[in-house]
Amino acid sequence: AQTVTQSQPEMSVQEAETVTLSCTYDTSESDYYLFWYKQPPSRQMILVIRQEAYKQQNATENRFSVNFQKAAKSFSLKISDSQLGDAAMYFCAYRTLSVGTPLVFGKGTRLSVIA
Amino acid sequence: DVKVTQSSRYLVKRTGEKVFLECVQDMDHENMFWYRQDPGLGLRLIYFSYDVKMKEKGDIPEGYSVSREKKERFSLILESASTNQTSMYLCASSLTAGPPLEIDTQYFGPGTRLTVL
């Protein structure tokens, strides 16, 4: 079974600085999807960024980028120029290529942003 | 924009009560999911459905059942609520067919915080 591990339960960053959240996963599949979801204190979970395993290029979305290391099964999220609104729980998630299959989530990292 | 709504943000029930949590999505998504979120445990899948009247067990289905009579609505049922079912419940939906970026994305509702006394 696939598993997703987030080894940092909590992290903090100064406003305008850069922070990296770690995620590793375990799978025997060769192709799959990886996601980072953000859950602000209001609780609505939203997608931050996604990566297709068959793509070599790391995904980027404005201030958010990933470092995808397929051989190491590592998928870290980098947040540049951190803002107060980035404070949230961040979940790393995995999904197989089969359409309609559920996500497998890590336990989350709580990010605090210090003004 | 996709909208996933859940019937209640907060719910308090007594042990032994039958509890219904409702989830509705307005974007004609085929797939719907129920997750449970607990501190330190992340999100765990309870049940999911890929079509009307179809359901699949997730990782922690014990003590729960689901109903999907209409495409837009997916209900989670606690037949006899227990205190260990106190949790945050999140519903999500996704497309089976459509633009690639859309079919890969699950959209979440705001969650229902259930307390069982």
B69 CB neighbour count, 10 Å cutoff? 9
Q: CA end-to-end span of chain B, whole Å?
A: 37
Collapsed DSSP state (helix, strand, coil) of residue B16:
coil
Name the residue among A43, A56, A51 with its Cα closest to residue A23: A51
CB-count burial class (<10 Å; 0-12, 13-18, 19+) for B77:
middle
| A62: DSSP letter | T
Cα(A100)–Cα(A102) distance, integer angstroms = 7
Contact A45 B42 (CB under 8 A): no
| Whole-number pLDDT of residue A104 | 92
pLDDT reading at B2 higher than 70:
no
Q: For residue A43, give the nearest of B31, B41, B110 by CB distance.
A: B110
pLDDT reading at B1 higher than 80:
no
| Whole-number pLDDT of residue A51 | 92
Percent above pLDDT 70 for chain B = 95
Summarize pLDDT for A42-100 with one digit per residue, the tens: 778 999 999 989 888 899 999 999 999 999 999 999 999 999 999 999 999 999 887 77
pLDDT reading at A24 higher than 70:
yes
Contact A102 B48 (CB under 8 A): yes
Answer whether A98 touches B (CB < 8 Å). no
Query: How far from chain centre, in Å, is Cα A7?
Result: 12
pLDDT reading at B104 higher than 80:
no
Name the residue among A34, A46, A35, A51 with its Cα closest to residue A85: A46
Contact B110 A108 (CB under 8 A): no
CA distance A71 to chain B (A): 23
Contact A43 B103 (CB under 8 A): no
Listing DSSP states for A10-78 in one string gives EEEEETTS-EEE--EEE-S-SSEEEEEEEE-TT---EEEEEEETT--SPPEETTEEEEEETTTTEEEEE
Cα(A35)–Cα(A115) distance, integer angstroms = 28
Measured between beta carbons, the chain B residues lying within 8 angstroms of A47 are 105-106
